[in-house]
Amino acid sequence: MPTTHDVIIIGAGPAGLGAASALRRIGVSPVILDRHGIGASFESWPEHMRLITPSFTGNQFGLVDLNAITPDTSPALSLLEEHPTGEQYAAYLRMVAELDELDVRTGIDVVDVIPRDHRLEVVVADGDPWLAANVIWAAGEAQYPHRGSFPGTEHAAPTIEVERWSDHPGEYAVVIGGYESGIDAAVHLIADDRRVAVIDPGAPWDVLDADPSLTLSPYTHGRLRKAMASDRLELLPDRRVVQVDPDGDGYLVTLDDGEQLTTEGPPLLATGFEGSLTLVRDRFRFDEHGRVELDEASDGSTVVPGLFLAGPALAHREAIFCFIYKFRQRFGVLARAIGERLDIDTSPLEGLREHGFLLDDLSCCDDACVC
């Protein structure tokens, strides 16, 4: 008879490890399954990509590092970097896993979670399924880039899959998408003496909003101003790409106003991420905007009892929990909900509240509140 674990967590990134650390506070030792390894998505980042949220050590004064996944650690202190690279942040995640003695199993490719006989069956690509009373889906986003919806997307390259910007061919590059990933790509290409056009009908570089999920970060705005001063960056708002075609040794990018741009290297896609939830879409309910609907008291699926969500796909009312410092606010909520299901004392979790790891009052997350 296969062992039924109290909790299985899918994903060994910041969401999975942070949720596991919160569970350890109430004596629950989850098993964490990951296809590659701890922080693998961060290790696959382009060489010069960095976290846009700054790391700064303020724990002693009750101000937890924005990029920390536990209240008693700080990437700034352990890495001595304000904006860590992906490789550096993966090292921080491995440190947390070691400090908290988290049980991480790698090389396990989870493809589905199925409710069966009052338990959850975690289906893997190669091997017997795992059984659990509770499952936290924390498989993340970066490994599942959105590849666009126009003809010829197969000829474009997602920015997250570029190993180093210096390898991108040609003196002129086209970036499709002008949010964080797109501007980051443009900044690095311009630093490498390229000319760059960034195309985005929404012109996110002009958006100012109190919610940092809806506007470029100050870190990116500062770099964007420097790139604009080079006279090698062209921002194209109010237009969209309608087709990409091979063109001799390069590519032809056609815009909706008929303009065509020719590049030697493939156009770069910075159009967001499908997210890992596509693998288990039927296990959650989604609203008309494509956002996952969750039980607000627990971040649990409204379709499959015992299945919970952690990470950047979280959204409640008008609040988007896509940054680390945002979705970590629900780690304590997850741990408490699971602890109650396991009939375990969850009072030790109350200490997380003052550090911003236990936000359960969502009354502030409406149109009138910066959340």
- Helix (H) / strand (E) element for 106: namely strand 103-106
Q: What is the pLDDT of residues 149-182, one digit of tens each?
A: 899 999 999 998 899 999 999 999 999 999 999 9
| Same domain membership, residue 288 and residue 244 | no
Domain count, the chain: 2
Residue 121: count other Cβ atoms within 10 Å of its Cβ.
Answer: 18
Q: What is the pLDDT of residues 60-115, one digit of tens each?
A: 888 999 999 999 999 999 999 999 999 999 999 999 999 999 999 999 999 999 99
Q: Which amino acid is at 195?
A: R
Please identify every stretch of the chain with a pLDDT value under 70, giving residue numbers as ranges. Answer: 1, 363-371
Going by C-alpha positions, the residue among 262, 265, 194, 178 that lies closest to residue 233 is: 194
CATH number of the domain to which 318 belongs: 3.50.50.60
Task: Tell me whether residue 371 is in a domain.
Answer: no
Task: Please say whether the beta carbons of 328 and 308 come within 8 A.
Answer: no
Cα dihedral 15, 79, 94, 85, rounded to 10, equals: 60
pLDDT at position 1: 59
The whole-angstrom separation of Cα 232 and Cα 258 is: 22
Structural domain boundaries, residue 326: 4-143+273-364
pLDDT at position 287: 86
Per-residue tokens: 257:
């106003």
Q: What are the residue ranges of helices labelled H in 25-154?
A: 40-43, 75-79, 86-99
* pLDDT cut 90: percent of the chain above it: 79
| Same domain membership, residue 317 and residue 290 | yes
| Same domain membership, residue 311 and residue 224 | no
Which of 249, 269, 289 delimits the end of a domain? 269
Task: Tell me whether residue 370 is in a domain.
Answer: no
Q: Which amino acid is at 269?
A: L
Which of 245, 269, 293 delimits the end of a domain? 269
pLDDT at position 288: 84
Global pTM value: 0.93
Which of 252, 269, 286 delimits the end of a domain? 269
Task: Tell me whether residue 31 is in a domain.
Answer: yes
| Same domain membership, residue 102 and residue 76 | yes
